[in-house]
Structure 1
């Protein structure tokens, strides 16, 4: 029998916390719930769930701080629940490493679909995968690990999916909408999300992120990736 997918829910509103937990359990997930960031942070040091759902406004430590701390030692997919719906607020969430967000009030059905999408993206479904080598990059799709110039780098789940997509399509100009659709499986979304993740990825793979040679901007189109490095 296949083990249930484990989800950690961190939400200080007991009504929301109980509703989310009950709905996910009714759909086959194993759920652990916490009402504050401090207890959740302690627990997450000792457990490795499949998805973490975090409310942005938490007592003790904020959801932002919890996500930053979690991202420092884990690449578990993180969904941020926020009452703030402005584009700038959503971008800020991606800056500190979340993989998806959901603005309150939200539909439990939509939350379920988004959790499922995060799980699918984090699992390797290919029957046979081998290490991918391209220039200074080496990717192990089975373990979702990446090396640049021989040094392993830590990527979030969304950053990994972006880099893997870029490597598979190196040399070809890629639009932001195509990246949203093909790399992350989004049928809709903010193009600015791609911009944020490109900037974060450059900070990890480029020797000088201000003068990138691997992940270059194609003005009016999007981005073009070169594994060898390109200054033209």
Structure 2
């Protein structure tokens, strides 16, 4: 799976340095220099990780984090010169996942990035549920060893359902995470995508919760 990271940092030299290190490690990286631009970008695109400064022009990092948590539960690493306890506690209360203070070494930052991605499942080489196995890095899905031949969008849907197996994923969440917050279509495209995905699965693992959404249930038949 192509791992997308957003770096939000107004210091151009730090922003550029972090981006170069992340790209060298094989990640896809977008950058923003102020909070308002970052919020707009987060509505447009799905990311697997956000690296976020606190002292930003426009919407500051703490406020941006609160807005982000209304639409996403992706890992957020705060990267800031503010090392006081109050800011750290506030960040964690706003549901930050980690907090690193400047100055820092790039090696430590990369290890924190890897830890958050690993914890969220983005770095897993494979995810299994019964006879179903997903390979996020190659967008490949197998059932009982047979390749299902999924499209990238179908894989993204199945990957999301597998990560939350047993939990109901509402229609709105699917639209936001798979098609993006600015998607201007309707729920019909979800239903059509689900039908195609179900047709490719040897067993019916996807349960429809009428009027709410979908969930994935293990089925060994």
Deviations 1:173-213 (CA, angstroms, capped at 9, x unpaired):
xxxxxxxxxxxxxxxxxxxxxxxxxxxxxxxxxxxxxxxxx
* One of 19, 27, 35 as aligned partner of 1:29: 27
Instruction: Work out whether residues 9 and 33 of structure 1, in 8 Å CA contact, stay in contact via their aligned partners in 2.
Output: yes
Is 1:144 aligned with 2:145?
no
Structure 1: tracts of 5 or more residues without a match:
131-139, 153-232
| 2:108 aligned with 1:127 | no
Residues 92, 111 of structure 1: CA spacing in aligned structure 2 closer, same or farther, 3 A cutoff? same
The answer (yes or no) to whether the contact 1:78–1:100 under 8 Å persists in 2 is: yes
Say if 2:62 is the partner of 1:61. no
How far the C-alpha of 1:82 sits from its partner, in A, is 1.7
Assess if the C-alpha contact under 8 Å between 1:129 and 1:142 holds in 2: no
Query: Equivalents in 1 of 2:12, 2:46: separation in Å?
Result: 23
Q: Separation in 2 of the partners of 1:67 and 1:92?
A: 10
Q: Counterparts of 1:45-194 in structure 2 under 5 Å?
A: 45-123=43-121, 126-128=127-129, 142-144=162-164
* CA pair 126-42 structure 1, distance change in 2 beyond 3 A: same
Separation (CA, whole Å) in 2 of partners of 1:81 and 1:146: 34
Do the aligned partners of residues 63 and 127 (structure 1) sit closer, same or farther apart at CA in structure 2, a change above 3 Å counting?
Answer: same
Task: Report the RMSD for the aligned CA atoms in angstroms.
Answer: 2.5
Distance change in 2, residues 1:146/1:91 (3 Å):
farther
- SS of 1:48's equivalent? coil
Alignment partners' CA distance in 1, 2:7 and 2:107: 16
CA distance in 2, matches of 1:109, 1:49: 22
Change (3 A) 1:151 1:109: closer
Alignment CA distance shift 1:151-1:44 (3 Å): closer
Alpha-carbon distance, 1:107 to partner: 0.8
Shift of 1:128: 2.3
Aligned residues: 139
Q: With structure 1 as the length reference, what TM-score do the two structures score?
A: 0.55
